[in-house]
Structure 1
């Protein structure tokens, strides 16, 4: 059924057929509209991809550039590195002299020195009561005078006999007896003199004297104490006040040490280091500890106390090697290594062998020539081949 409608007033004509009025026709128009919208969307997407593509790529590139890490690098070059061996040990007197009783002993009457006193050779350190020995010496001195008087009398009688023998008043036999009596008297004088000298020497040995110039380290006697030759050492003296440090060194280190090498000794509890010189290297190695002793001679200083513990560093030579801070050197199961930056600004692992470690840094015994750009820090966060932005550290 067809309907026609016409409106002549506005010269407009509408026609509606039954075909257009069907529901299926409306869906077809909807599908056509959707397809047109999809085409428009695809064209718009292509436009943005083409027009805005260069801007997107630039943003991505900028973001990638921002992700490249900046690392501090340095060219270490080669520096003079002093090679040293270190060890620990005790401080002692270089030549320690124990002083005891040389005579028969007795009761100590005076002690004249204290630990820390400087003494000279032969100086009296302590005295022992000698009242009995003094009386013995006085008796022998009197006997000596008697013997000398007898000798003088025998000489006078001999002289008179010689003047009378030519007159016949004295026989030659009497003269010989006078000579023999004179000789016996002279011998008794010598015996008396020897006995008196012996007694006086014994009495002098009652005084405890220093055998040489030096520094008194310890005192083990007090007034009123009874001492004898079995009392042991009463004083300890450092000859000349000279000290030494007996450094315990590993067997491999001891083989590099020679007499005459210089060393630095630092007592425990002190920041001051004292210069010394190796004067003796142990000829034996302890089979239990595999260590030996290097003896470092030191000049006297109140801070060097015998028996104290100290550390020593002995210079055994020097080499030219690159120096790096400890933060630049890393280690893993394969050993020590550093990161260097190549010409393409890529981080590369370089295995190295570490030499001396000191306050100045770590010396590299092998693996670097000193001309490489070495990453000073943050190497633990890098991977081999990773692109980095190196920032050269200014030379100090």
Structure 2
């Protein structure tokens, strides 16, 4: 697939994700951590405009200068911006204007792509991967926003809960292994540089923890016993009175959960989802096991199926040896977040096609759980 074909495909998918939304859905924002669909559609367009069209095409005319304030996310070097918790307050510009903005930028981008400049094409590929990240966020943010509606809206089916397969453990011998991205295909800068890591003997589960297994943890008082929890995790549990994963709710004594295709009965064979790092660690401790490190996960990943849940690791999000922050505004993409966050590996049912690889380093603060986050266990040998 050419870069132009990829550009058209990725840009179309963002719109396709919104095909079943009503106009009121486009501006929903239930918390600071999530963003409205309208904002995602505009921000990903702004990214192409500000990082490619403005600096690389001197004849390009910015149609809406004020959009730089409205749709910047966290790039401090590009000026002031709308407060993150106020993105849902922007009833204007209307959705129609955002769609016109996308068309305007897309037309200019296609003309620029056709020039064939290699530096520009590299930036386009980065922009497409950025948009694919936001496609996943659009899905998960939308789920969180719609969950607050007691009507349990049905807007899309992505196979959120399907039976988990696999059994047993994969054992890995101690040794020095190479980790990190290699090759010339695209990766984010936080996956570089490839380097050596020493691992002790360990084993990693060939499948994810299921709803049935997690329910056993709950039924045996997992959320009531502080011995299993990190101190911060226990404070989080008690202060918010947490009793179950996000979206779980009892209906007539039976557990259900909200999905983007409406409320469903709990499928005990499916992998548990929407648990945070504190919950994942507590469950592992309850089992007398642990979470894998991100390097253990990467070394062992060929031995098990992955891609339905982002999988918590016991690794802090830190730079690899030799990591350098890119110059300019693009340097704010990953490096400045390397503090107080934990790494997740794999992908999820909401991840866009062709946007996953074994070296991909996702990262979130340990209390977040609105992504499709799950648990894979490990043990030392």
Confirm or deny a common fold (TM above 0.5).
no
Shorter-chain TM-score range: under 0.3
Larger helix percent: 2
**Bigger radius of gyration:** 1
Larger strand percent: 1
Q: TM-score, normalised by structure 2?
A: 0.16
